[in-house]
Structure 1
Amino acid sequence: MWRPVLMAKLIQQFNHLGPIRAQTLVYIHNQTTESTTGVDIYSGEPTSKRKIGENVPRNEKVNFLVKILNDLDDSKESVYNALDAWAAWEQDFPIGPLRQALIGLEKQHQWHRIIHVIKWMLSKGQGTTMGTYGQLVRALDMDHRAEEAHDVWVKKLGVDMHSVPWQLCHQMISVYYRNNMMERAVKLFKGLEAFDRKPRDKKIVKKVCDAYEILGLIEEKERLLKKYESLFNDTSPSKRSTRTSKKKSKS
């Protein structure tokens, strides 16, 4: 009897935050069971209780969250309230299910909601990895918020130029390139070169060369093409050695 009464009180308390939060609580309550491993001889209370929501399958939690987020308006408050309610009954912060939910939202191109979810997660001190910030940069770019993507790069990723993965560097150069921020693309590439970071993909070099050309710096473009000409040459030593080793292994 205590569980329905408790849930009714909780839902009443959360009603002022909107129907989505109450709906989340009802869903979690309906999907959970309680397990016990014994009874305390003094108090008569169970010695072990399963956390509410613990036995709900992960995929079901993720699908429910994605559905809730899709039903919401795009306001930060609505998304944050729904996420607070969804995560309230978890014993540990649900970083895994959240990442799955973000993948689902990406497939639907829900960039604005992805931004809210990642920022909510970061506000809780969770998911503070290069991968998360890279995902935020991508979502901001796709949501036509290149200036905010630049701010994330400067404050969170670009502070460690000697170790930030080339994949993220290429991503940021592409953001600058698509949004006609050629000076920033060139500056980023020069910063990487200052740390003796050599690009592994000719696409990066081509974008920077195009940026130089747009800026009217033709000599710099030619210098860069000459410096990294091996990337544009299919018969470079590294590729020849790879092909030779493959032929030897076949023979």
Structure 2
Amino acid sequence: MWRSPGTSFLAGRLTQLGLVRVGTLNHSSYSTMLSQSQKSNQATAITTAASFKDECSGQSTSQCPEQSAGGAQQRRIGDNVTRKDKVKFLVTTLLDMKDSKEAVFGTLDAWVAWEQNFPIASLKRALLALEKEQQWHRVVQVIKWMLSKGQGTTMGTYGQLIRALDMDHRAEEAHDFWERKIGMDLHSVPWQLCRQMISIYYRNNKLKSLIKLFKDLEAFDRKPPEKSIVQKVADAYELLGLLEEKERVLEKYNDLFAENKSLMKSRKAPSKKKKK
């Protein structure tokens, strides 16, 4: 479902020709296999398949499924490579490769070609590793590739993409994605995600978009959970010269500021008793 035509051809050929003994496969051969399959074209597939044929030609017929008629099916290529090593290999490859969407997408196509199910959990680990390295451009590319395959269509993934776009200095693109995928159904969007978008608008001086988003949330009777959100909205109104609207918002959500003051007093109370 998620394979490119070239990779599908390669996967099919190696599934037929490359079912080798577990003992003959190691992490190095897995890496070589993926590097070859990144090219995703028929010529590469034939060459790679031939190399596996050559390997089988040096083994006994019982070790090579194509030569052993009716023999038990062997384990698939890469089955004895740990999931951790697969993730590590993918991250290392993505970090070392040139900045090309086609190259990144081709690598990801090759990486999942040998999986029976889409490895969403492994990709999430890879994304966390890329975030740790602050490789925001790569994070964006990986998530966009996932979405192009119809995978990872959750609010959590959307939030991860918006954050990566913001960190990659692509606030306008984050805004466009919000409008297309999230902003049309604000009654169920988590406040955490709304707060994230409000902060992006605030940092990038997109004040009208910030106010529009907040008003849309108010239209669904959604009360902001913390005063920092209200303060950003009030600041936006002030910067736009809409002082009456600023006062309206501060008055309407005054309880949030009052709750914060009460919380601060309750935290200070125990410390005073200790001093006595």
Give the structure-1-normalised TM-score.
0.78
How many residues are matched?
A: 219
Question: In the TM superposition, what are the counterparts of 1:240-251 in structure 2 within 5 Å?
Answer: none
CA distance in 1, matches of 2:69, 2:37: 31
Question: In the TM superposition, what are the counterparts of 1:45-124 in structure 2 within 5 Å?
Answer: 45-46=71-72, 48-124=73-149
CA distance in 2, matches of 1:193, 1:49: 60
Give the partner amino acid of 2:190: P
Corresponding residue to 2:70 among 44, 53, 73: 44
CA distance in 2, matches of 1:15, 1:206: 49
Match of 2:160, SS state, is helix
List gaps (5 residues or longer) in structure 1: 30-38, 244-251
Aligned to 1:3: 18
Give the partner amino acid of 1:3: G
Corresponding residue to 1:217 among 242, 245, 248: 242
CA RMSD of superposed structures (Å): 3.1
Contact 1:52 1:90 in 2 (8 A): no
CA distance in 1, matches of 2:170, 2:136: 11
Contact 1:51 1:90 in 2 (8 A): no
Deviations 1:13-51 (A, max 9, x none): 747459xx99xx9xxx9xxxxxxxxx9xx95131x4433
Aligned to 1:191: 216
CA distance in 1, matches of 2:249, 2:34: 63
Give the partner amino acid of 1:60: D
List gaps (5 residues or longer) in structure 2: 1-16, 21-28, 53-64, 268-276
CA distance in 1, matches of 2:260, 2:131: 38
Give the structure-2-normalised TM-score.
0.71
CA deviation after TM superposition for structure 1 residue 185, in Å:
0.2
Residue identity (%): 61
Quick check: 1:132 aligned with 2:147? no
CA distance in 2, matches of 1:75, 1:215: 40
Deviations 1:206-227 (A, max 9, x none): 1111111111111111111111
Contact 2:18 2:77 in 1 (8 A): no
CA deviation after TM superposition for structure 1 residue 60, in Å:
1.2
**Closer, same or farther: CA 76–96 of 1 in aligned 2, 3 Å:** same
